[in-house]
Each structure stands twice: as structure tokens, then as C-alpha cells.
Amino acid sequence: MEILIDNIGELFDGHRIIRDTCIHIKEGRIESIGVRERADEVIDAEGKFVMPGFIDPHTHTVFAGSREFELEWKIEGKSYSEIAEMGGGILYTVKETRRASKEELVKQMEERLREMLSHGTTTVEIKSGYGLDRETEIKMLEAIQEVKRKTKMDVVPTFLAHAIPSGREAEEYTEEIISEIIPEVGKRKLAEFCDVFCEKGYFDVEQSRRILMKGREYGMLPKIHADEFSCIGCSRMAAEINAVSADHLLMAGEEEMKTLAGAGVVATLLPATPFVLNTSYPDARRMKEIGLTIALATDFNPNCYVANMQFIVQLACYKMGMMPLEALRAATINAAKAIKRDGEVGSIERGKKGDVLITNVASHKFIPYKIGVNMVRKVIKEGELVYSED
């Protein structure tokens, strides 16, 4: 099967802008750019802007229930602990997720992935982490594996040590993770990455290090939630153990940024989180000056219900001072680097997967500029039309 996406007004290939061109996809892979070859099917881009599928390298898409009932409490100014006392917060999600069957988790995840796909996301990372016990964490990872088989999107599974279950000690739960959960996840190959929430009141630096090193023993590459609410040395540890990415980094200072850059750790920024929490944004401009590779992600979770990477690009430009092209690179090729998929996806280059978005706007500058509507008209995944607006 060969398809030609013709009449492209402006193409962003993951790196730069090319005008008036076409893309030829053969057996699901990019064959050439700018060569008008014979094809079985021609898709007319109608002179519009075309780009690689978005890569969302940090989500918590597997959980049961939603938390829209907390919004009024949040607007009234209730604190996180007050909301938890009123029955909301992460413990509500943990309760619902423990209770849900694997089939129910799969069903809810599939709905969320359909929304992501229709807004242009073709590759998504999904973390476990709302089980906080062996049985539920495994159920969540099995649900991700099932969704991975069913969806057209590329799904990258991660085991996340997310929080300390209520009534238990951090040290004791860390031991359970290391001696029981990670070995099972590893032996059954349920996750490609191991992630940990390194923060005051969660896992400290040494517990996080032990979890990530154990994950690595079982072939899972390390990622980390670092420096979100405080800066206690998590990103420095991430650099020491050569983590693939350090995510959030709201509180990361000059030293942390330089250390991460020196170790080649990708900085994954999640601007929808400070948006919903009404807090400040990470210093993307300084990170860029220092030479950090910046990726963008939604952080999709019940407290931050954002499935649309276009909105993330908008926040990156308006709230973090990123330029439109920088933000688009961060949401495609750099996001692929954050999940070690940059050899396969994230840019439109010969040999890579034919994951292409046809938009209804004239140039890349509209993606951050035009807010609140879906600009993706058609989604092509490995050469197959998987979403069309009409």
C-alpha cells in the first residue's frame, strides 16, 4: 500500500519548515518527501499545514472514575488535604481504580485514547500508579498491554511508584516495590520504563534511587517525577543514574538544569499541571539557554484532564516563553527522545513510521495561536487514515 499526501502548503518535519511539498508513504513507512510518486491513494492536504503526529511522553491515562466534583472545592480555595478529607484527591482515584475490573479500566482508557488520537496524538506513554498495591498495579499494567494491542496508537507502558498508600510507611512500601512488584513487572515484561514520584512526603531521593536501580536490573529504563513542589536532590540523582527523562522540574534551579543537561537527561515539561494548580511554570527559557533537550507532555490524569497536545503547545508558548517551532519540536521529536522512540517516530524522515497530521490551518504558527478548537483535520498512523474530521 502506497499513499501520497499531496498539496502540502507548509510541512514541519520534526526539525524545520518545508514549503509546497508532498509525502510518500510505503507500507506504513516514510518513503520520500517532495517526490510526487505514483501511489494507490492520494490524500489532498489542500495547501494546509502538515506535521508529524504528536508524541505525548508522560500520561496517567489508566485510572477509574473522574474528579470533576472537586472543581468547585478547588475554586473555593480548599487545600489538597481538605479535598482529601472531603473524599477527593488521589486516594479517591486509588479506591475507584482498585474496585474497577481490568475490562472497565480498558474501556475507560480507550475512550481517552480516542480523544487523544482525534487531537493528533499518535504515540502515548501511560503510567500505572493508582493502585499502590501489587495486585492493582499489575492489573493497571495488564490493562495498558491490552489497550496497546487494540489501539492504532503506539502505547509505551511505564511502572510508576506514585505515592505511599495511606497507613503505610514509605520505607516498608519501597521494600515491597523492590522485592515483589518490580520483579513481577520485569519478568512479565509489563513495562518499558520505571518511574518514581521523588518528593517530600512521597519517595525520598535514596528510596527513589533504589526503585529506579531495581527497575533497571529488570530492563526498565529510569524516568522520574522531579522537583515539582520542592527541590530535594531528585533531578541531581536522575543525572547520576542517567535517567532517560526528568519530568515537571518546576522548582529546578540553575545547578539542577546544568547537571541534567550534562548527563543528557531530557527535561519533560508539563505546563497543564501548573495551569490547573494555578502555580508558576518551569523556566523553559533558561533550560534552553543551558542546552537542555525539552520535551512537552500533557500529564493527563484525573486532576489534570488534558488530552490535547495542541493546548500544551499553546501553554508552552504563552506561559513558558517557547517559540512556536521550539514548542512543536518539544511535542514531537524531543518527546520521542523522552521515551526512546526517536528512531521510529517524532519526525517525518525516510524509514520512520508514516505518522502524519493534516491540519485545517495554513502554518505552524496557528497551532499555538488559535486556542480552544481542534486544528487536526486528518490523522494518518503508519500510512493509514485513522481519524478524519469529515
Question: Which chain residues interact with Zn ion by CB under 5 A?
Answer: 299
How many CA atoms, within 13 angstroms, populate the side-chain half-sphere of residue 218?
Answer: 25
Closest separation in Å from C-beta 50 to Zn ion? 30
Q: Closer CB to Zn ion, residue 233 or residue 302? A: 302
CB contact at 8 A, 292 and 320: no
Checking 360-365 for CB contacts under 8 A at 24+ apart, the result is: 360/48, 360/389, 361/48, 361/49, 362/9, 362/10, 362/47, 362/48, 362/49, 363/9, 363/10, 363/49, 364/10, 364/12, 364/17, 364/49, 364/51, 364/324, 364/325, 364/328, 365/324
Q: Closer CB to Zn ion, residue 256 or residue 299? A: 299
Closest separation in Å from C-beta 299 to Zn ion? 5
In the numeric block, the cell 508558576 is attached to 280
**Nearest 5 degrees, angle CA 107-CA 111-CA 114?**
135
Closest separation in Å from C-beta 297 to Zn ion? 8
Closest separation in Å from C-beta 248 to Zn ion? 7
Q: Closer CB to Zn ion, residue 299 or residue 342? A: 299
Q: Closer CB to Zn ion, residue 125 or residue 299? A: 299
Closest separation in Å from C-beta 225 to Zn ion? 5
Closest separation in Å from C-beta 161 to Zn ion? 12
Q: Closer CB to Zn ion, residue 3 or residue 144? A: 144
Residue 68 DSSP label? G
Nearest Cα neighbor of 116 from 341, 345, 254, 312 is 312
Distance CA 275, CA 260 (A): 24
Closest separation in Å from C-beta 38 to Zn ion? 46
Q: Closer CB to Zn ion, residue 201 or residue 343? A: 201
The sign of the CA dihedral 86, 92, 96, 98 is negative
Closest separation in Å from C-beta 224 to Zn ion? 10
Q: Closer CB to Zn ion, residue 227 or residue 299? A: 299
Q: Closer CB to Zn ion, residue 283 or residue 299? A: 299
CB contact at 8 A, 287 and 257: yes
Distance CA 3, CA 45 (A): 12
For 313, the enclosing helix (H) or strand (E) is helix 309-320
